[in-house]
């Protein structure tokens, strides 16, 4: 470990230790006051990971030696994991693999084996060709990142379940199937395919920016989610895009009203990258610039994702899964400080297939040094909205 990394690790340790001390002091003060907890708050707290006995610390320490298993422990009441999707998945690891090319079943998913869960690529009822190539563009401006315009290209639910899903599931991480639909008939067709499959839940992609039917309006979102909830007892998350406060609140209210188990925030956002050609000094006339329109991901998305997660945690009752530009321990801790129930890692996997394992190792090391033994405890230490 270089001097810079060692210094950063020490700063993280001291930061967490001080935050934990302050949180414990605040918890002690709050315990002297008998304050009722609102029903929405109680729902959020009951949806987060349970507290763990200090007796579990030895298991945590042993597990953290495996870089793929940070903050790992079993709930004291194991039956809780059957009722709440976050217990089983976040107890394995709070770091999940987001839906994307890495979970499309077109290549080995071995790099995802240590994820708390893997969200398989979005499928539709029928095959879709998506957008013509190129569909991925790496840009160097600003903080760097990717634009993609895959456009919901997929082989259809039935073929994905037959040929692609087994490849995703071979990584042995719990699998969540992402899907999108415009009608109840499409929802019925998709869920009929996946009901027999060994998956743990669904993520309804309501916000793809790269396809005409990818962004569900309020009426469609309500109808599709209501249908999915009626047909399946499995957990359902809804992936929303960044939006102004009132619109985001309205969309979250639909999710809660129609029985969603959580919200993933956020999806990629429409963007444009311009590549300028060199000018031919003889002709003095450049070629046309290359314009790439697609959804932006990576570090550019992080501040917007942080705003959305903070807003949703404070303004509505459903647990929030953070997604957007996560590539370092700093972003993981930042989302914990905002109250996220778990964190998805996406486009960073395009540059480093080992990023999940690295982040899990760094998170386990920081938490162990600060004597924090669960993601729930980490959130309570860092996030004032989640303290009792």
In angstroms, the CA 241 to CA 238 distance is: 10
Report the candidate in 228, 176, 166 with the shortest Cα–Cα distance to residue 203. 176
Any catalytic annotation for residue 208? yes
Which tokens sit at 201?
Answer: 């839940």
> How do 342-345 and 201-205 pair as beta strands?
unpaired
Helix (H, G, I), strand (E, B) or coil at 187: helix
In angstroms, the CA 340 to CA 305 distance is: 11
**Annotated catalytic residue: which of 208, 255, 323, 383?**
208
Q: What stretch of H or E contains 383? A: none
Contact 128/152 with Cβ under 8 angstroms? yes
In angstroms, the CA 155 to CA 348 distance is: 25
The alpha carbon dihedral of 63, 69, 70, 72 has a sign of negative
Report the candidate in 272, 264, 364 with the shortest Cα–Cα distance to residue 12. 364
In angstroms, the CA 253 to CA 216 distance is: 15
Catalytic residue ranges: 208
């Amino acid at each position: 470990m270089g001097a810079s990394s060692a210094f950063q690790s020490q700063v993280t340790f001291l930061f967490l230790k001080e935050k934990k001390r302050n949180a414990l002091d605040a918890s002690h003060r709050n315990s002297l006051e008998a304050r009722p907890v609102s029903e929405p708050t109680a729902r959020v707290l009951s949806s987060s990971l349970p507290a763990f006995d200090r007796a579990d610390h030895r298991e945590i320490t042993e597990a953290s030696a495996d870089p793929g298993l940070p903050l790992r422990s079993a709930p004291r009441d194991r039956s809780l994991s059957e009722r709440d999707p976050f217990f089983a998945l976040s107890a394995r690891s709070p770091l999940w693999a987001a839906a994307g090319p890495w979970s499309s079943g077109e290549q080995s998913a071995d790099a995802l084996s240590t994820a708390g869960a893997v969200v398989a690529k979005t499928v539709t009822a029928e095959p879709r060709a998506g957008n013509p190539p190129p569909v991925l563009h790496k840009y160097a401006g600003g903080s760097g990142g990717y634009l993609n315009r895959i456009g919901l290209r997929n082989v259809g639910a039935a073929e994905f379940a037959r040929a692609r899903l087994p490849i995703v599931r071979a990584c042995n991480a719990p699998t969540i199937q992402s899907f999108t639909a415009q009608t109840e008939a499409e929802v019925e067709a998709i869920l009929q395919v996946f009901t027999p499959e060994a998956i743990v839940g669904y993520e309804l992609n309501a916000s793809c920016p790269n396809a005409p039917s990818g962004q569900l309006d309020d009426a469609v979102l309500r109808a599709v989610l209501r249908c999915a909830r009626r047909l399946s007892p499995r957990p359902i998350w809804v992936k929303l895009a960044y939006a102004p406060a009132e619109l985001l609140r309205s969309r979250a209210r639909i999710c809660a009203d129609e029985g969603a188990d959580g919200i993933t925030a956020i999806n990629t956002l429409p963007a444009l990258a311009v590549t300028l050609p060199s000018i031919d000094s003889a002709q003095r006339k450049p070629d046309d610039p290359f314009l790439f329109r697609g959804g932006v991901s990576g570090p550019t998305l992080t501040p917007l994702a942080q705003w959305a997660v903070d807003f949703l945690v404070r303004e509505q009752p459903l647990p929030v899964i953070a997604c957007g530009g996560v590539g370092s321990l700093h972003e993981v801790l930042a989302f914990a400080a905002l109250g996220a129930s778990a964190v998805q890692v996406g486009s960073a996997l395009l540059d480093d297939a080992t990023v999940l394992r690295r982040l899990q190792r760094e998170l386990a090391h920081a938490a162990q040094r600060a004597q924090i033994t669960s993601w729930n405890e980490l959130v309570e230490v860092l996030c004032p909205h989640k303290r009792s």
